[in-house]
Structure 1
Amino acid sequence: MVFTGLLVGVFVISMGGGGGAIYLGILTAVFNLAPASAAATSIVTALPSLAIGSWLYYRQGQINFHLGNIMLLSAVPSVLVGAFIAPFIPTKIYTIIIGLILLVLGIQVLYKVRKGNKKASANPSKTLPVIFGVISGLMVGVAGLSGGGPIMAGLLLMGAPMIQASATSSYVLVCMSIVGALTHVSGGQVDWPIGISLICGAVVGAAIAPRLMKKFAVGRGAIILNVIMGVLLVFMGTKTLL
């Protein structure tokens, strides 16, 4: 489990938390946890690695605090709203909505890669970060997902370089995960034995990821990582819909 956590930690922090659904997949498919327990455990498991990854990205000067804070201020209230309305939304409905959102975002990221990345605007729209923040927060609050997909996709679509997008997304998700973790821990759904084992590996992976990103997330490497992110979003969206 520790080695699994290490691999997931490297991948998730490299993707700015956008691969957080992998935690859910492993916990449900490999460890046979119930969906509610898997969602709670995945958020708690991801939190320490996100914190370490964010700190190291901060040390590299890669976090875009302007965009990150706008997303954060819209995402955190959305987590609370999502948690409140979750019992009143049929599972099938929010599953379809989340699947479509992830699918569309993935296609947009891949299309942007095909057209060629543009440099981030010096004065990016304030509306787009808010929209992506709200979507991400609702995903965390309603479905117990990491919410990294919309944040990461939004940053890439707004023109952020891959490493800056990963860094900023990790920063946003740290704060969101704290809120989500507190909500789920209070519900008693966390499987601590499995979660702690994964955390031990994930924090090591999180310490490695920013260094790897600094070395490889440039030029052709950045394009490849963008494609991976787009494909991952399309896969998660399709899997959610099926």
Structure 2
Amino acid sequence: MGSLPKYQTPGTAAGGTSEGNQLFPVFLKLNQLHTLLIGAGNVGLEKLNAVLANSPLARVTIIADYVSDEVYELAGKFPQVTIHNRLFTESDLNDVNLVIVATGNESLNNYIRDVAHQHNLLLNVADKPSLCDFYLGSIVQKGDLKVAISTNGKSPTVAKRLKEVLNEGIPDELDTTLQQMSRLRDTLSGDFAHKVKKLNEITSVLIEPKDEIAERKNFKWLIWCSIVASIAITITAFWLKNPGFQSFVQTINPVFYYFLGASFIFALVDGAIGMSYGVTSTTFSLTMGIPPAAASMGVHLSEIMSNGIAGWMHYRMGNINWRLFKLLLIPGIIGAALGAYVVSSLEHYSMYTKPAVSVYTLILGIVIFKKAFKGKHKKADKKIKRISLLGFGGGFIDAVGGGGWGSIVLSSLIAGGRNARFSLGTVKLSRFFIAMVSSVTFILMLSHGNHWEAIFGMVIGSALASPIAARVSNQISTKAIMVSVAVIVILISLYSIQKFVVKVL
């Protein structure tokens, strides 16, 4: 061991000024150390009981000119405990790690302290805090759970009373919980950070206040009621305004299956890389001849449920920045409603709006391609502050182009120095409401129903992919997917633009 520092009374600085409790709690593996106990009367018996009760395999050597019958009896139950009925000598300090003194002889105690320090050993002297390098605190134990209590040597009686309170207050069944958590930890894969996050999710309910639990339940019902309401509004509007919807229910167009399969794949890709569903779905829809407004409506309808579930999961994990959520939500809804209104009003001019949207998807494809080869983003010096303006712009562009809320808003927040985890959770949750408002606006604005087979294919395809999207993200290279998506989107967008230019010329 290294040399011990100049001795100071615990809790007191070198100048004698009180510094409060300066003790540093540790738990020693006494089964791997050699402990010397000097004294074997009543106090020695108490110390030996404390050591063996907490560490039954502790190696203890007892030195005492008097050994009580109770000490002999207790030591006889532990073969690794040795008793020497004689006076203490300095050579007894050889090959030991800790010293506990229980003699009641003040001069002997002072002598043992001096020679123990010369041997660089830590010691505890019963009922003499000023001579101690460490204290034996009161212990509360429930199986593998162990709680140590110390009063800085001021009052062992108070420590014992606290021990009684905790013994009664902590249920014995808590050890069962520890064993189950240990087995659960052994089943988890991934790195340390992932395991900690997963265990925090599971145990968060143990410390969550009742009012937060009630709030969470209310929010859950709000999410699901909103989903049910949006579906009911959608079906009712389709049925009342569009006779084509009624015939679609009876006769399914093959286009439905094309969009079902494509949307399923796009949703898997989005689950793997956290973005691109809007841009891939919109690009595919435009290529298949769907007008921009109808394409955007299909994308937003299919995103209602997936983003509602994702937002709820992030809410459960505590990944929501509520101040940021409020700043994004209202402007985002206004922007989305306005964007959906504008693009729906221009539906008759889809010949011209379609290439404009293709240019937009081309830009997003390039952004995705750049992200694939870009390293981790360095934290900005200042956080982005115009959150409301960002939400409005993101909602408007997302509705007009059929996607981009995640790419634009999330990227801007992270680039502006916001925490990535909280930004992702907040953007996902707000996206649910943005998608719902955009969808309702599109349904109320559009007057014809020639593309319901494509729209419902997208809705059902993305819903089927949602449960397995997370598994896909763990099996496929994110970089490879992003590059593939970017190349496909860029090529299809260029093809659509080229067709428009040729047609005009």
- TM-score (norm: length of structure 1): 0.68
Structure 2 residue aligned with 1:125: 384
Residue 460 of structure 2 is aligned to residue 200 of structure 1? yes
Shift of 1:179: 0.9
CA distance in 2 between partners of 1:204 and 1:134 (Å):
31
Of the three residues 167, 171, 178, the one matched with 2:436 is 178
* CA displacement, residues 117-176 of structure 1 (integer Å, 9 cap, x when unaligned): 23588x83331x333312212213444445332123223313456665543332222111
CA distance in 2 between partners of 1:170 and 1:139 (Å):
17
Contact 1:133 1:150 survives alignment (8 Å): no
Greater relative contact order (CA < 8 Å, ≥ 6 in sequence) = 1
CA distance in 2 between partners of 1:41 and 1:15 (Å):
21
Structure 1 residue aligned with 2:413: 155
Residue 324 of structure 2 is aligned to residue 70 of structure 1? no
Contact 1:40 1:144 survives alignment (8 Å): yes
- When structure 1 is superposed on structure 2, of 199-208 and 10-19 the one drifting more is 10-19
Partner secondary structure for residue 277 of structure 2: coil
Q: Which structure: larger Rg?
A: 2
CA distance in 2 between partners of 1:57 and 1:194 (Å):
30
What is the 5 A alignment of 1:12-91?
12-30=270-288, 32-86=289-343, 87=345, 91=353
Of the three residues 228, 237, 240, the one matched with 2:482 is 228
> Which ranges of structure 1 fall in alignment gaps of 5 or more residues?
none
- When structure 1 is superposed on structure 2, of 82-91 and 50-59 the one drifting more is 82-91
Note the aligned Cα RMSD (angstroms). Answer: 4.3
Percent of residue pairs bearing the same amino acid type: 19
* CA displacement, residues 6-57 of structure 1 (integer Å, 9 cap, x when unaligned): 3222223455454312111222334x42333222222212222222222233
Contact 1:105 1:153 survives alignment (8 Å): no
Contact 1:16 1:168 survives alignment (8 Å): no
Distance 1:11 1:158, change over 3 A: farther
Q: Letter of the aligned partner of 1:201 in structure 2?
A: G
Shift of 1:62: 3.3
Distance 1:135 1:183, change over 3 A: same
CA distance in 2 between partners of 1:201 and 1:100 (Å):
24
Partner secondary structure for residue 62 of structure 1: coil
Hey, which of these two has a bigger chunk of strand by percent? 2
Contact 2:333 2:437 survives alignment (8 Å): yes
Distance 1:6 1:53, change over 3 A: farther
Distance 1:26 1:76, change over 3 A: same
Distance 1:3 1:91, change over 3 A: closer
Q: How many residues align?
A: 230
> Which ranges of structure 2 fall in alignment gaps of 5 or more residues?
1-256, 498-505
Distance 1:59 1:41, change over 3 A: same
Hey, which of these two has a bigger chunk of helix by percent? 1
- TM-score (norm: length of structure 2): 0.37
Distance 1:94 1:77, change over 3 A: farther
